[in-house]
Amino acid sequence: MQLKDKVAIVTGASKGIGKAIALLLASQGAKIVVNFATEKMLAEEVVKKIGHNQALAFAAHVEKPDEVASMIRETLKHWGRIDILINNAGIINDKFLMVMTDDEWQKVIDVNLTGVFNCCRAVAKQMVAQKSGKIVNISSTAAVRGLLGQANYAASKAGLEGLTKAFAKEMSHYNIYINSIAPGFIESDRVAELREDIKRDYLRLIPMERFGLPEEVAQVALFLVTEAASYIQGQTIMVDGGITV
Active site (catalytic) residues:
153
Look at residues 41, 119, 134, 39 and name the one whose alpha carbon lies nearest to residue 87. Answer: 119
Would you give the DSSP letter of residue 59?
Answer: E
With beta carbons less than 8 A apart as the criterion, state whether 160 and 180 touch.
yes
Strand partners, 183: 239
Which run of H or E residues covers position 178? strand 176-183
> How far apart are the C-alpha atoms of 113 and 212, rounded to whole Å?
24
The one-letter amino acid code at 42 reads: L
Look at residues 72, 202, 231 and name the one whose alpha carbon lies nearest to residue 141. Answer: 202
Torsion angle, CA of 41/213/236/221, rounded to 10 degrees? 60
Strand partners, 150: none
The one-letter amino acid code at 174 reads: Y
> How far apart are the C-alpha atoms of 135 and 54, rounded to whole Å?
20
